[in-house]
Amino acid sequence: MPKIIIAQSKCKGCELCILACPKKNIRLSQKINKKGFHYVEIIDPDKCNACGLCFQVCPDVAIEIWK
């Protein structure tokens, strides 16, 4: 199973990754980070297939993916 790590403190909640994820597996958290943004979170880690499309569009390089 792939491991996807999102650096919450770097995320600015732009939602580009939410739009890019083909599995619709990313959402905005109800919580906000120190920058004042609702950061993104993975909905179901088991559904991630490590395609990396979220990583490709992230302007803040806040996503890291292992497999």
Partner 1 sequence: MKKLFFKPESLTDTDHKYCSGCGHGIVHRLVAEVIDELGIREKTIGIAPVGCAVFAYDYWNFDVTEASHGRPPAVATGIKRFLPDRVVFTYQGDGDLAAIGMAETIHAANRGENITVIFINNAIYGMTTGQMAPTSLLGMKTTTSPFGRDAKLAGYPIRVGELLATLEGTTYLARCAVDSAKHVLEAKKAIKKAFEVQLAEKGYSLVEILSQCPPNWKMSVPESLEYVRKEMMTQFPLGVIKDKTKV
Q: Token pair for residue 65?
A: 């993916």
Is residue 28 a contact residue for partner 1 (CB under 8 A)? no
Q: Token pair for residue 9?
A: 């403190």
Site residues for partner 1, 29-58, by CB under 8 A, read 37, 50, 52-53, 55-58
Q: Name the residue with tokens 């943004």.
A: 37
Q: Are 42 and 48 in contact (CB under 8 A)?
A: yes
Question: Of 45, 46, 47, 59, which one interacts with partner 1 (CB under 8 A)?
Answer: 59
Q: Which residues are near partner 1 by CB under 8 A?
A: 2-3, 9-10, 12-16, 19-20, 37, 50, 52-53, 55-61, 63-67
